Structures are given as C-alpha cells and as structure tokens.
Amino acid sequence: MYAAPGRGLAAPQVGVPIRLFVMDPTWRDGVAAPLALADPRLLWASEETATLEEGCLSIPGRTFAVTRPARVRLAWRDLDGRGREGAFEGVAAAAVQHELDHLDGVLVTDRTA
C-alpha cells in the first residue's frame, strides 16, 4: 500500500476473498499509522457530501472525482478479534468508503458520473 503509494488496500484487490482492508489516510502527512478493519459495517453516513479526487491501486495513474457522504461511522473487528467503532471524516471518510466498496465488488469507476 505504501509503496504504490496508496492510502488503503482491500483483501479482494490482492486475491484474498475476505472482508478485510487496511488504510492509512494520513501517512503522507506524518508518521505511518495503519489501521486494519475486519468485517467492517457502515453504521451511519451523513447527509452532507464531499467530492474528492480518488485514486485506486486497481487503476494506477488515474484519479476520479467521487462524491460520498462527508462523515461516516463504522463498526469492525481489529486483528485480535475485538469489536471496534469509529467515526471518520474528510479523506479518512472517503478512504473507508472506497475500501468498503472494494469489499462489495464496487470500483471507483462505478461511483463517477
């Protein structure tokens, strides 16, 4: 993910058919802090939206303007199997939604007009 250089990577992108992704939306701005989310579920999404340019490691060298909810709340299991919940906004919100899409078989190109 870092070498690509990306902000997230879903297991299905590397041929592993499980509901797991890793992400680190701010590593380019500071210290790497990867987060692994197993069996993530979207609990809530804001009505407010934001449009950001998204890249995708499955489609190198291109970006796409994608409009998504500006804030989301997710539940997931960490790598030790413990239940977690968290709220995400900005680039992090876009990243978790982008990776959730991969788990559901949706590509960024399916989200563009």
Q: Per-residue pLDDT for 112 more than 90?
A: no
Q: Is 99 in the active site? A: yes
- CA 103 remoteness from chain centre: 10
φ, ψ of residue 109 in degrees (nearest 5) = -65, -25
pLDDT digits (tens, 9 = 90+) for 74-88: 999 999 999 999 999
- Pull the structure tokens for residue 50: 């934001």
Beta strands in 2-81 (DSSP E): 8-10, 20-23, 35-45, 49-56, 59-69, 71-77
Residue with the two structure tokens 């990867």: 34
Marked catalytic residue, from 48, 53, 54, 99: 99
- Indicate the domain borders of the chain: 8-111
The pLDDT > 90 percentage for the chain reads 84
Class of domain 8-111: alpha beta
In this structure, the strands spanning 20-23 and 8-10 are antiparallel
